[in-house]
Amino acid sequence: MRRYTLPIVLAVALVATSIWGYYQYNEKNDYHTYLDIQFQRQFYDLIGHVENAQVELAKAMVSGSTKDLSKHLNDVVFQSYMAQEKLTQLPLYHGAIRSTERFLNQLGDYSTAMVNKSLEGILLDEDEMTTLSELHTYANMLSQQLIELQQDIVKGGINFGDLRREANRDLSRVSDQMEDLGLINIEERMVDYPELIYDGPFSEHLQDIKPRLEGENITEEEAVTIARETFQEENIGNIQVVGDIENTPIPSYYLSGVRDGRLNGQNVSMAISKTGGKVVWYLNPRETGESTLGADEAIDRAEEFLNNIGYENMTSTYTSAYEGQIVINFAYEEDDVIVYTDLIKVKVALDNGEIIGLETEGFLINHHARDIEEPEITEEEARERLSSGVEVESTRLAIIPTAGKKEILCYEFKVKFGEDHYLIYIDAKDGIQREILLLVDQEDGTLVI
């Protein structure tokens, strides 16, 4: 009897393992199938949205009135963003779908820009209509290729679940699979599509923005000196240039240092522009103790700091405090006009009033001597454009940026509607409402107006 014990135990174990294994296998298959059908669905949706975008675009082009045009373009906006959304949820390697993603995004952005134009009563010009028809050609091409791809997938039994597994193992093998899938072909053809120049959001050509910052080029030694002088009160020792920041709008030296004195050993870092030697950003990540300063004292402290390093006429516009720190936004002010584009942020520690962060990129890129035009409509006229349901609390003139990188002079109205505060911007030239911002008051954030 005894000599059978071991074999029996082993047999039982084997059976148990088999059952467990079988169960695991089934479960794995279930997950795999589930995932695969989800991806298949996304893929079908993707095709559907691209097709719809293309059809709506075609309808928009033959629409006679600006009303019909905007109606159909609105659908293009929705369909193209949905298509982009589905595409980015598929387990596809980024390099293979990048231009397709961009195409779908730009199709949506461009259509949005055209809808806005139509709504303002501006007729689309010939170039814009040509761009629309070019976009239509590409949308057409894309949906055809996607349909072919879909058929291949159904026929050839490539499933997205497998693709996903491969992706986990090796991204480069995924890219081979992509080629099999034919996505690379689409991608190559998408690359040729023309660059769009338009006044819409996220316009590609905006990336080549030239900063307004001017000045002499500085050496590494000078950068170290500037760092030391700027943060004199912070006692930073051992400042070194540890790297370069290149291929960005403001090429800079990347420096790091160590705090001396009481908070010995705390690392700080910053970037100083190679042109003009300005601090682009500064970060001191120290933990803060119990708060002893109020917001007003912190704002005074930050203003004093900005004055010391040569920024004048800066007005605080917004503060937000958390965990013993406060971030204060400063905008440049000229002739009682707030210039929101020229933005500097200062972070102050609320335990001892020390400056623990600085961010000046908005200011360095945008600030220049401006000829601020006189508003063409009066404050009264602008106020008439507001809804009768709101209660105006304050008004001032402000320059705000548009999505297309232009600056417009607006009347800024802080209004109360129901329980919420809003900022409404009315163009000082033509009275068009340019922007509405809803202020969400949180216990730690307040707008300073």
Number of other residues whose CB lies within 10 A of the CB of residue 119: 12
Per CB under 8 A, 153 contacts other proteins: no
C-beta of 218 vs 423, nearer to other proteins: 423
Which of 19, 25, 202, 368 binds other proteins (CB under 8 A)? It is 202
Q: How far is the CB of 46 from other proteins (least distance, A)?
A: 13
Query: Contact with other proteins (CB under 8 A): which of 36, 68, 85, 300?
Result: 85
**Residues paired with 319 in a beta bridge:** 328, 446
Compare residues 257 and 375 and give the one whose CB is closer to other proteins. 257
One residue of 148, 304, 323, 334 binding other proteins per CB under 8 A = 323
Nearest to 203 by CA among 134, 74, 118, 112: 112
355 strand-pairing partners: 348
Give the residue carrying structure tokens 């590409």.
138
At CA 414, angle to CA 412 and CA 418, rounded to 5?
A: 145
To 5 degrees, how large is the angle CA 221–CA 223–CA 227? 120
Pick the closer one to other proteins by CB: 305 or 422: 422
Q: Is 299 in the site for other proteins (CB under 8 A)?
A: no
Binding map of other proteins across residues 209-238, x = CB under 8 A, - = no contact = x-----------------------------
Provide CB contacts within 8 A for 277, sequence distance 6+: 215, 216, 218, 222, 223, 226
The contacts of residue 126 (CB under 8 Å, 6+ apart) are none
* Angstrom distance (rounded) from CA 159 to CA 242: 47
Cα–Cα dist 422/438, whole Å: 5
The span of 8-16, 70-78, 222-230, 240-248 binding other proteins (CB under 8 A) equals 240-248
From 196-204, 221-229, 298-306, 370-378, span contacting other proteins (CB under 8 A): 196-204
Between 2 and 94, whose beta carbon lies closer to other proteins?
Answer: 94
Task: Please give the helix or strand (H or E) that residue 424 lies within, else none.
Answer: strand 420-427
Which residues 99-128 are close enough to bind other proteins by CB under 8 A? 99, 101-102, 105-106, 109
**Per-residue x/- track, 303-322, other proteins (CB under 8 A):** --------------xx-x-x
Q: Does residue 410 sit in helix, strand or coil?
A: strand
Q: Is 283 in the site for other proteins (CB under 8 A)?
A: yes
Per CB under 8 A, does 258 bind other proteins?
A: no
Nearer Cβ to other proteins (230/329): 329
Q: Note whether 90 binds other proteins by CB under 8 A.
A: yes
Kindly state whether residue 248 participates in binding other proteins, applying the rule CB under 8 A: yes
Q: Which residues contact 231 (CB under 8 A, 6 or more apart)?
A: 268, 282, 355
DSSP label at 442?
Answer: B
Report DSSP state, residue 216: -
Task: Please give the residues from 336 up to 395 whose contact with other proteins meets the rule CB under 8 A.
Answer: 340-341, 343, 345, 347, 357, 359, 361-362, 365-366, 384-390
